[in-house]
Amino acid sequence: MSEFDYDLFVIGGGSGGVRAARIAAGETGAKVGLAEESRYGGTCVIRGCVPKKLMVFASEYAGIAQDAGLYGWDITTGAFDWNVFSGRMNGELDRLEGVYRKLLSGSGVETFDCRATMKDPHTVLLSNGEEKTARHILVAVGGRPVRPDMPNAELGIVSDDIFQMETLPRSILIVGGGYIACEFACILHGLGVAVTQYYRGAQILRGFDEEARGLIAEEMKQRGIDIHTGTNIVEMCCDADGETAEGMGVSIQETGESVGDSGMAHQGTHGGGTQKGPIRVTATNGDTRVFDRVLFATGRKPNTDGLGLEELGVKLGRNGQIVVDEYSQTAVPSIYAIGDVTDRVNLTPVAIREGMAFVETVFKGNPTPVDHALIPSAVFTQPELGSVGMTEEDAREQEEIEVYCTSFRPMQTAFIGKPDRVLMKLIVSKASRTVLGCHIVAPNAGEMIQLAGIAIKMGATKEDFDRTVAVHPTMSEEIVTMRNPVRSA
């Protein structure tokens, strides 16, 4: 009989933890327990990727009637109904959570709907009063959005709150310039909200290719998103006068209903945060403006607070992340960690890969380091950004490169006179001819970059791209038709 209750106990029911638990139980016969204090599915399914992408889909319908009219269709649309959409969205999240629970149950994983903390290297304490021991413990508790340290920050909401809003605001200030801030700026603008965005840096989407993020900023502004770079909040407070943002001249009552310029009805009470009326914001650029909502998208923090890890000798980084080696093992040999709580590459597919590598290493006797190289990613702005490999800026610091790039108006929107532009870009090593990076700004760039990522992961050269016949007429054909570099560095 084993000296432990379980071979593996997983803390956290998100994508990474669930995958590790069910693979360990289902494929190796390990006895596995898992505790989740909130909802199964974690950030991605409940508070991130899935509901956000559904909102992206919803927001993209806004201009269809106008565009279709220019193509000859007689189509009319009414106002967007948040209640209809959010009801269906929450129904889908409930369904997916049920899928996660069923997968765990079907694999023989014993689940506990409560919080788990660490007592010793082999023991977890459950908030229901039970103690469970395990030969190995895997921490997969993810992360959370944080508010800035400033007075009245509680008046604002964070990304988790967006999905719980009872109704849409008429106006919103989004603070931040990362991918979460930019995605929600585009989503909410598409749903009819007046969006203003403050970012303290010189350009949004820091860390992505400079040329690509510059085009996205231009396209966002062209669509009507009011972006202010080099700008931050000095102070914020409830607006006692009850004025709406942007001089709409419509008052918001705590329980009443009013109609802004969009003609859409909005309730005055909203989910998330403590604010029940307009918020007056003073910015570093000297402006004082009033918004229905303020969304902070200024960073995330690993959920390590109160787990008892440091007391056991598990090392934490400056942001509270769990420090692990290439096999996801902490400084305490029996404790491992995967996903956003390690703050390595905070993407759901990466957490899943880390979970699978953990099972290979610990339960299948096949030491498998996690491969974090050449991970494709997408930013679901409008237009989207797809990226894999090195940016031009990073690549030219490493070696001599050639840059192949084109920006143009795509056929579908150029035909109806829209100024939208897209961008296709390859970064190529002069010495090896290997494609070091690919960056696409276009509708459905996320779909395109997945396929480009396969070629780049395989080590494709520029000549491999050149030998590939173009699919015509498409936007993506430009990736294989760019013959001459636009610059070398």
Query: Which residues are the active-site residues?
Result: 472
Which residues, other chains included, contact 87 with Cβ-Cβ below 8 Å and sequence gap of 6+?
Answer: none
In the structure encoding, which two tokens stand for residue 38, read together?
């909130």
Judge whether 455 and 376 are in contact, CB under 8 Å. no
* DSSP state letters, 447-472: HHHHHHHHHHHTT-BHHHHHHSPP-S
- Burial class, 12, CB count within 10 angstroms (exposed 0-12 / middle 13-18 / buried 19+): buried
Can the peptide bond before residue 383 be classed as cis, meaning omega within 30 degrees of 0?
yes
Judge whether 75 and 53 are in contact, CB under 8 Å. no
Q: Does 340 carry a binding-site annotation? A: yes
Q: Does 53 carry a binding-site annotation? A: yes
Distance from C-alpha of 21 to C-alpha of 112, rounded to nearest angstrom: 13
Judge whether 467 and 443 are in contact, CB under 8 Å. no
Q: Does 183 carry a binding-site annotation? A: yes
Q: Does 431 carry a binding-site annotation? A: no
Q: Does 44 carry a binding-site annotation? A: no
In the structure encoding, which two tokens stand for residue 470, read together?
């173009």
* DSSP state letters, 228-288: EES--EEEEEE-TT-PPGGG------SS-EEE-TT--EEES--SSSS--S-EEEEETTS-E
Work out the widest C-alpha separation in the chain, in whole angstroms: 74
Select from 374, 364, 354, 357 the least CA-distant residue to 450.
374
Q: Does 181 carry a binding-site annotation? A: yes
Distance from C-alpha of 158 to C-alpha of 306, rounded to nearest angstrom: 21
In the structure encoding, which two tokens stand for residue 388, read together?
């894999």
Q: Does 182 carry a binding-site annotation? A: yes
Q: Does 179 carry a binding-site annotation? A: yes
Distance from C-alpha of 53 to C-alpha of 60, rounded to nearest angstrom: 11
Select from 176, 190, 189 the least CA-distant residue to 145.
176
Give a three-class secondary structure readout of 38-92: CCCEHHHHHHCHHHHHHHHHHHCCCCHHHHHHHCCCCCCCCCCCHHHHHHHHHHH
Residue type, 435: V
Distance from C-alpha of 99 to C-alpha of 361, rounded to nearest angstrom: 27
Q: Does 219 carry a binding-site annotation? A: no
Q: Does 178 carry a binding-site annotation? A: yes
- Collapse the DSSP code of 218 into the 3-class scheme (helix H, G, I; strand E, B; otherwise coil) and give the result: helix
- Location of structure tokens 């610990």: 362
Indicate if the alpha-carbon torsion angle 176, 180, 181, 182 is positive or negative.
positive
**Residue 106 CB: number of other CB atoms within 10 A?**
11
**Residue list, annotated binding site for NAD(+):** 176-183, 299
**Residue list, annotated binding site for FAD:** 53, 340
